[in-house]
Amino acid sequence: MKKSQPTRMCIACRSRHPQNTLIRLKLSGKDVVVYDGQGRSFYLCDDCAKNEKKVKGLVKRFKQDKERFIKLLKELLNDG
Ligand SMILES: [Zn+2]
């Protein structure tokens, strides 16, 4: 029997992916941070996290410090 995986929508490309393949983030005050179990979270897919254009769009959308945001994504991608 095949269990269907829960899917979530990536906020950048708006396509659905299995939840366990997505990066889960949240907004803490003004900063986007890794989701820690509290507050409202959102998801970003690996492809978008690696896509410079999409990342730039998110930096603007959430008014993030670009360097810090890119560093955060890189760390998350390296985590596997
Ligand atoms: Zn995406």
- Taking the centre of ligand 1 as the mean of its atom positions, its distance from the CA of residue 72, in whole angstroms, is 16
- Taking the centre of ligand 1 as the mean of its atom positions, its distance from the CA of residue 54, in whole angstroms, is 8
Ligand 1 ion: Cβ-proximal residues, 5 Å cutoff: 10, 12-13, 45, 48
Q: Which residue has the higher pLDDT, 78 or 55?
A: 55
- Taking the centre of ligand 1 as the mean of its atom positions, its distance from the CA of residue 26, in whole angstroms, is 16
pLDDT, tens digit (0-9, with 9 covering 90-100), for 16-67: 999 999 999 999 999 999 999 999 999 999 999 999 999 999 999 999 999 9
Question: Exposed, middle or buried by CB within 10 Å (0-12, 13-18, 19+), for 43?
Answer: buried
* Residues 54, 38: Cα–Cα separation, whole Å: 25
- Taking the centre of ligand 1 as the mean of its atom positions, its distance from the CA of residue 3, in whole angstroms, is 23
Which band of pLDDT confidence, cut at 50, 70 and 90, is reported for residue 5?
Answer: confident
- Taking the centre of ligand 1 as the mean of its atom positions, its distance from the CA of residue 55, in whole angstroms, is 10
pTM, entire model: 0.88
